[in-house]
Structure 1
């Protein structure tokens, strides 16, 4: 899906705007003009984008810059160009979006409703592991060792060109083994009884893998019935990480469990959580030092 997204950026935005400029003639000024144009009027007219802002988001423009920068870096290494025009480009500032999570006090309502809707096991395992949606749907029973209490993340389920398919994971760090707590093992044993002979941990009614869209619709249905605000599936992953950090799990461990590229990325993503923890640490130290006086 990442490959498809990049292909779309190239075909819809890069080629039509700067595709005819020879690499050695491409300047930083030309790129800055392109980024400004994309920010104000870059969105492709489609039925599903009606009513949305006409400009692309700063994040999308930065992604487009990254693709051009990769190409220019290679061109410079191969001595096709002397200077890299992407160096020194001013990029749009990222908008800070407030991260949504399910607060602890809402978890019992959510899980109770999930149980009534027959999808408790899936959402419990998600909140206990923080897997990406595709990774959760890609789990097979062969990946789970209920005796040793661990789970191997080896593949994902994605919708590509309208088809639900097995796909490799996002990065090499995404291939990982996670420990399972006793409660999660009990929930998985319960799920095993429900799935019959299907190799998938969370199969569709036909026995194959579930479509990522169906899982999202089901999540919104459960939230609505529980009287809770709408969140994305990815926000359940944020809920796992936030609760782990708030309850004393160190950033390196959380980063490894999430399958992030680096602990630095995890730290940036959950800075608001770690800042609160640092304030608590400062107060703790104050108590210790005051007592020592």
Structure 2
């Protein structure tokens, strides 16, 4: 056998029962993340036929028409995408939610499907299966969202020609009724919490609409007493991480650890100035004085990390501790039970009732833009819509002082 021509790749005989029944050829089209060769194989009845096929593949590879990742399954690609997101510094809990969605919903149903053969119909069937399994529209749509994000990168890298998940419509969701307290209920809760060591934190939540992580991550240096404002700079996160690979309990990967970490704020707009009312400032002063007494009593055992809402030993208050006290105080106050995040909605509701402009509400809450605020709280602006209906005579009378 002579020397192989350029582009022939690896060619070998296919032998069965001692006889040559055909020829097989392989061509290296790329390498994976570990440097292992990615190969394409062709076969034919004669050596010349295989040579022609390999040369055609070589031309396609040179012209960018040949996908080096052919044969990669969606499950394999999702693992690669998740590792990419982790190395890009995505927030730990966001990464965990991506991993959970891929592990629980995407890979069990579509993990073995070849990435290049994945079709919109496959994705639609995934949504049907998840709904039949009793998963909520929110969970199902989130799985679709994660798949769309993963395939978007695959298109960008040239692994697949199009994002097949984009053409699949998410499930329709009924907007859940927002749970908020009235001003009277909020007052009842704050009156009940008056003697609790975290009263100032709950008061701040109701008056400012700050997120739980922003409140618990707040440090004394973030408060401008003279300017009557504070500047959220970080948030306190409860981060859950998976256990060792292969370690499972009840059919699921185990959680190896839960840690408390300071992380970046949720959005760029979260880095804002929060103006404080005189009442809020007064409660923060009272809280500072009470913390100074705790620090003095504990002495060297106080671990001073500068947190405004520290635990009795100076360390940050755990989110679950903050929520546990919240539930207990709600029961004592006799107010409807709501989520801790609903204090943020309550704050927005109270601001809107005061006639505060949507742009100001958006800035105070740290929303990405005012359009988001209007979408979330559109039903709360009904009173303003009614006031927008007026007659020209009303303006003329007002101008004349009538």
TM exceeding 0.5: yes
**Structure 1 unaligned spans of 5+:** 42-54
1:120 is displaced (CA, Å) by 2.2
Q: Which residue does the alignment assign to 1:14?
A: 106
Report the CA distance shift for 1:286/1:226 in structure 2 as closer, same or farther (over 3 A): farther
- Verify the 8 A CA contact 2:186 2:206 in the aligned structure 1: no
- Between stretches 111-120 and 22-31, larger displacement belongs to 111-120
Among candidates 137, 143, 156, match of residue 58 of structure 1: 137
TM-score by length of 2: 0.66
Residue-by-residue CA offset, 1:184-228 (whole Å, 9 max, x unaligned) = 112111111112254111111121111111111111111111111
Residues 238-249 of structure 1: pairs in structure 2 closer than 5 A:
238-249=345-356
Q: Secondary structure at the match of 2:380?
A: helix
Give 1 or 2: higher helix fraction.
1
Q: Which residue does the alignment assign to 1:84?
A: 163
Q: Which residue does the alignment assign to 2:194?
A: 115
Report the CA distance shift for 1:285/1:156 in structure 2 as closer, same or farther (over 3 A): farther
- Whole-angstrom CA distance in 2 between matches of 1:119 and 1:154: 20
Report the CA distance shift for 1:286/1:34 in structure 2 as closer, same or farther (over 3 A): farther
Among candidates 307, 319, 323, match of residue 212 of structure 1: 319
1:56 is displaced (CA, Å) by 1.9
- Verify the 8 A CA contact 2:197 2:287 in the aligned structure 1: no
- Where relative contact order (Cα < 8 A, 6+ residues apart) is larger, the structure is 1
Among candidates 224, 231, 235, match of residue 331 of structure 2: 224
Q: Which residue does the alignment assign to 1:44?
A: none
Among candidates 327, 343, 347, match of residue 236 of structure 1: 343
Q: Which residue does the alignment assign to 1:258?
A: 365
Report the CA distance shift for 1:271/1:66 in structure 2 as closer, same or farther (over 3 A): same
- Verify the 8 A CA contact 1:58 1:95 in the aligned structure 2: no
Among candidates 271, 276, 279, match of residue 175 of structure 1: 271
Superposition RMSD in Å: 1.9
Q: Secondary structure at the match of 1:83?
A: coil
Residue-by-residue CA offset, 1:218-274 (whole Å, 9 max, x unaligned) = 111111111111111111100111111121111122112111122111111101102
Report the CA distance shift for 1:63/1:276 in structure 2 as closer, same or farther (over 3 A): farther
Give 1 or 2: higher strand fraction.
2
Q: Which runs of 4 or more aligned residues in structure 1 lie more than 6 Å from their structure 2 counterparts after TM superposition?
A: none
- Whole-angstrom CA distance in 2 between matches of 1:287 and 1:15: 66
**Structure 2 unaligned spans of 5+:** 1-92, 241-257, 296-303
Q: Which residue does the alignment assign to 1:68?
A: 147
1:62 is displaced (CA, Å) by 1.5
Report the CA distance shift for 1:146/1:289 in structure 2 as closer, same or farther (over 3 A): closer
Matched positions, count: 278
Larger Rg: 2
